Amino acid sequence: MKWYRIPGIEDIDKPFIKKVKAGTISICLVGYKGEVFAVSATCPHQGFDLSLGSCENGKLICPVHNYSFDLQTGKGNYDYLKTYAVKIKDNIVYIGISSVWDDIKQVFSK
């Protein structure tokens, strides 16, 4: 897994929704109840920008169709969002992007 430093997140304890890049991947970064979550930045239904949505009860809500996605699992009403690992070190947010090989290893280790 490769870790990317995400600049511009000033206070991780306050709620926020922000679109960021980790390498070439667009990610929706969400601060919710003192935790930080990273999910795919686009709604799988029609590709709308989820960073323009809202967060309620641990779910990210699409601004267009009101589909909701669980921040921890990515599970939605009808689809799933890809989730990404997040770590915080010295108040700096890092997002982990796994390679295809990392994903394959994880599938076969279950």
- 66 in Cβ contact with 45 (< 8 Å): no
Write the DSSP assignment of the chain as a string of letters. -EEEEETT---TTS-EEEEEEETTEEEEEEEETTEEEEEESB-TTT--BGGGSEEETTEEE-TTT--EEETTT-BBSS-B--EEEEEEETTEEEEEE--HHHHHHHHHT-
Which pLDDT score is estimated for 110? 62
pLDDT digits (tens, 9 = 90+) for 62-87: 999 899 999 999 999 889 999 999 99
pLDDT of 105 higher than 80: no
**Strand pairing report for 2-6 and 92-97:** antiparallel
What are the extents of the domains in the chain? Answer: 2-108
Q: Could you say which architecture CATH assigns to the domain 2-108?
A: 3-layer Sandwich (2.102)
pLDDT digits (tens, 9 = 90+) for 27-51: 999 999 989 999 999 999 888 999 9
- Residue written as tokens 């969400």? 30
User: Region 90-107: what's the mean pLDDT?
Assistant: 82
- Dist CA 2 CA 59 (whole Å): 26
Give the pLDDT band of residue 60 (cuts 50, 70, 90): very high
Q: What is the pTM of this model?
A: 0.86
